[in-house]
Amino acid sequence: MGARLTTLVSIWVLGLMAFTAIQTDVKAQDKPDFEVTMLGVGSPPPFMHRFGPATLVRAGNKYLLFDAGRGVTQRLWQDKISLGRIDMLFLTHLHSDHIVGIPDLLLTGWLKSPFGNRKGKFNITGPKGTTAMMDHMVKAFAADINIRVEDQKFAREGVTPNSNEIVPGVVYDDEGVRVTAIEVNHGEKIKPTFGFRIDYKGRSVVISGDTKYHPPLAKAGAGADLFIHAVAGAKKELIESHKMWKVILDHHTSPEDVGRIFAEAKPKMAALHHFVTLTNGKIKPPSLGDLLSRLKTTYDGPVTVGADRMRFIIGTDGVTVVSAKK
Ligand SMILES: [Zn+2]
Ligand SMILES: [Zn+2]
């Protein structure tokens, strides 16, 4: 009886060990060392299905956020990422759709709660104008900040911006994660605007930022593992209906031109986000399928139409696309 019990216990222990090993494997797969999550693939329209521009890049131990559009805090916490966990926020430019989520990230990330808990200052890197914007933001929310300092004894440090205004070149280099700012062309009155390239352990991700057709971007993104580009389009009738539509489109890249950039850069995986699909309410916007068909006339490599919460695992053997969680 004693021997039988020992055998049973042994089998149970062995089973548990096997189970633990499998769990460890799954965990290792679940936590790749280089991963990109599209938190929001939208542009100004306040859609529920496409939040404002925000892309999270996790490389090693670093959590880097690129733009903070509408809904960025909800998307982060949907994936149980504390707002205070972000090591650095990078801004491509100061158009409102890319920055309206900052106050929420700044202030809610300061709260002492699992969803907040920022240790240290609020680190932000962006174009000229970023420092003034952040200083004014703190002033705009002075009432709330003063209340929490006096009432809840919060340290001001957690809501103090550490702003860093950049020029093209390497703008971040820490624990093997290097970020390079690439100047792009979003129009004469919106200078500077940046795209970013993130390099980690011989792999790389490029984010275009908002830009017109900008061939130097293809060089900056040459051979990237993942190249994410913004795209814009409208139906012909709409463009012909009023000159305003052309002005908007002129700040962005058409699907055919995005295809040209991808064809030159030859990334392992290309992806689209920041969808500008214009409509006046009467003339419908082009569908994302329409944009993709147009892009395919100039590019025949792999391309993914982005969606909120879609993930890209940047492995040593290629990029795995993980569909958006519901
Ligand atoms: Zn934009
Ligand atoms: Zn813009």
For ligand 2, an ion, list residues with CB under 5 A. 95, 210
Condensed to tens digits (0 to 9), the pLDDT of residues 286-301 reads 999 999 999 999 999 9
Q: Tell me the pLDDT tens digit for each residue of 4-18.
A: 444 444 444 334 333
Counting ligands in written order, the one closest to the CA of 94 is: 2
Ligand that lies nearest to the alpha carbon of residue 54, given by its number in the listed order: 1
* CA 97 – ligand 1 centroid, Å: 6
pLDDT tens digits for range 155-183: 999 999 999 999 999 999 999 999 999 99
Distance 186 CA to ligand 2 centre (A): 7
**Continuous segment of H or E residues that includes residue 182:** strand 177-184
pTM of the model: 0.90
Q: Which residues are catalytic?
A: 97
Q: Kindly give, in sequence order, each residue whose CB lies less than 8 Å from that of residue 39, ignoring residues fewer than 6 positions away.
A: 51, 54, 55, 56, 65, 71, 72, 75, 76, 308, 309
Residues whose beta carbons lie less than 5 angstroms from ion ligand 1: 43, 95, 97, 210
Tell how far the Cα of 275 is from the centroid of ligand 1, in angstroms.
9
Average pLDDT over residues 131-147: 98
Residue 43 CA to ligand 1 center (angstroms) comes to: 5
Q: Name the token pair of 150.
A: 């006096």
Domain definitions of the chain by residue range: 1-30, 32-322
Distance CA 250, CA 100 (A): 23
- Pick the ligand that lies closest to the CA of residue 211: 2
**pLDDT tens-digit series, residues 56-78:** 999 999 999 999 999 999 999 99
CATH fold of 32-322:
Metallo-beta-lactamase; Chain A (3.60.15)
Task: Write the single-letter amino acid at 81.
Answer: I
> From ligand 2's centre to the CA of 154, what distance in Å?
35
